[in-house]
Amino acid sequence: MQADVDTQVEAVRRFNRFYTQRIGVLQEGLLASRFTLAQARVLFELGTHTTVTAGELIVRLDLDPGYLSRILQGFVDSRLVMRKQSSADARRVDLSLTVKGRKAFADLDQRSRRSVGKLLKPLSQAHCARLLDAMRTVQATFSTASAPRHPHIAIRPYQIGDVGWAIERHGRLYADEFGWNKGFEALVATLFAKFATQHDPTSEQFWVADVDRERAGCVFVVRSDQDPHAAQLRCLLVDPRARGLGLGRRLVQECLSFSKAAGYLRIILWTNDVLLAARKIYESTGFSLVEESPHNSFGHDLVGQTWARVL
């Protein structure tokens, strides 16, 4: 176990060394300016807010109060920052950039934009997309681990690109978590292809759950092939990074509301007994187990289950 931890720590340290060198923060002045990295970060906070207090900067940047005080005093001495007692609260001292300070911020901001643009320019569109996705994952992972999450969640009808994402995410997720083979991805691709090319939008719909504007889950409803009065729920998925936010239940509730409004009398679904989290969601939203039978699919012996509920 300790060996695994040591390996993980070294991997993070190796990445930190690589990235800090690549973005040029090891120089004496950040982006060939007269500001250190910490000074530039404080200047950015001041430049993107009308006023801010030293206490707010300490919280936002997790800086030592004494260190921040020295940075601010240097800015005041250089006439980049001015202090003013708040008219709303006499105990509050507001900090804001002077005209000189705003010019310094604008110059540094432009240097930063040019530097990042130069960094991204050699990358293809696909590589750039992979890089940004990885960065969002790193940010979301550390944010989740360090503070309570209050993410922005939206359940929306599908858009261009969502079908391809759903197929890929199903294939990868079920391979990683359950060891299912390519046969499962092929089945999902067939189901989504039929929906995308043949569905009736008045009675069939596909929803995507976004968390902080990133896809994190999906589900769709179609008319049952066996019973024209029954809707069929298919392909419920919640990405591991978004679990615990109630997305699965919200997606299922969306299916129930839509199906009832579309005039269906009942709704059914097919799943497998190993999908414990999904089964709990179905039970909690009023579904009952109708039948089950063993089968061998996706490289495993499984027990298929049919669940249903009246609308």
> For residue 210, what is the domain's CATH number?
3.40.630.30
Asked whether residue 130 is domain-assigned, the answer is no
C-beta separation of 258 from 296 below 8 A: no
Give the mean pLDDT of 83-101: 83
Pair 284, 192 in one domain? yes
Pair 6, 95 in one domain? yes
Residue 30 DSSP class: G
Buried residues in 73-87 as b, exposed as e (16+ CB within 10 A): eebeeeebbeeeeee
Residue 293 DSSP class: E
Q: How far is 179 from 199, CA to CA, in rounded Å? A: 31
Pair 162, 86 in one domain? no
Residue 255: pLDDT above 60?
A: yes
Q: How far is CA 92 from CA 51, 55, 83, 89, 166, in A?
A: 11, 10, 10, 5, 50
Q: Percent of the chain at pLDDT above 70?
A: 96
Boundary residue ending a domain (122, 143, 174): 122
pLDDT value of position 60: 85
What value does the mean pLDDT of the chain take?
90
Boundary residue ending a domain (81, 99, 122): 122
Q: CA nearest 286: which of 263, 307, 257?
A: 307
**Which CATH number goes with the domain that contains 53?**
1.10.10.10
Structural domains in the chain (count) = 2
The DSSP bridge pattern shows strands 266-272 and 230-238 to be parallel
Residue 24: pLDDT above 80?
A: no
Residue 88: pLDDT above 80?
A: no
Give the mean pLDDT of 106-126: 91
Q: How far is 190 from 139, CA to CA, in rounded Å? A: 34
DSSP tally for the chain: helices H, then strands E: 10, 9
Residue 145: pLDDT above 70?
A: no
* pLDDT band at residue 247 using 50, 70 and 90 as cut-offs: very high
User: Rounded to the nearest 5 degrees, what angle is found at the Cα of 44, between the Cα atoms of 42 and 46?
Assistant: 70
Pair 112, 184 in one domain? no
pLDDT value of position 2: 62
Asked whether residue 145 is domain-assigned, the answer is no
Containing domain of residue 35, as a range? 2-122
Got the DSSP string for 227-272? -TTEEEEEEEEE-GGGTTSSHHHHHHHHHHHHHHHTT-SEEEEEEE
Boundary residue ending a domain (79, 99, 122): 122
pLDDT value of position 144: 66
pLDDT value of position 19: 85
* pLDDT band at residue 30 using 50, 70 and 90 as cut-offs: confident
Residue 90: pLDDT above 70?
A: no
Partner residues linked to 262 by β-bridges: none
Q: How far is 218 from 191, CA to CA, in rounded Å? A: 14
Query: Is 207 strand, coil or helix?
Result: strand
Give the mean pLDDT of 119-147: 82
* pLDDT band at residue 204 using 50, 70 and 90 as cut-offs: very high
Pair 260, 305 in one domain? yes
Residue 158: pLDDT above 70?
A: yes
Q: How far is 278 from 69, CA to CA, in rounded Å? A: 52
Asked whether residue 147 is domain-assigned, the answer is no
Asked whether residue 218 is domain-assigned, the answer is yes
Pair 51, 189 in one domain? no
Pair 100, 178 in one domain? no
Residue 269: pLDDT above 80?
A: yes
CB atoms within 10 A of CB 107: 12
Residue 283: pLDDT above 90?
A: yes
Query: Is 288 strand, coil or helix?
Result: strand
Asked whether residue 283 is domain-assigned, the answer is yes
Pair 213, 118 in one domain? no
Give the mean pLDDT of 181-197: 95
User: What global pTM score does this model have?
Assistant: 0.56
Asked whether residue 143 is domain-assigned, the answer is no
Residue 149: pLDDT above 60?
A: no
Pair 167, 90 in one domain? no
Pair 304, 166 in one domain? yes
Residue 4: pLDDT above 80?
A: no
pLDDT: is 140 or 114 the higher one? 114
For residue range 42-53, what is the model confidence (pLDDT) as tens digits? Answer: 999 999 988 888
C-alpha 117 chain-centroid distance: 24
Asked whether residue 139 is domain-assigned, the answer is no
Pair 180, 232 in one domain? yes
Asked whether residue 137 is domain-assigned, the answer is no
Q: Percent of the chain at pLDDT above 90?
A: 62
Q: How far is 116 from 254, CA to CA, in rounded Å? A: 41
pLDDT value of position 31: 80
Pair 163, 81 in one domain? no
Q: Which of 26-30, 131-135, 166-170, 269-273 has the lowest mean pLDDT?
A: 26-30
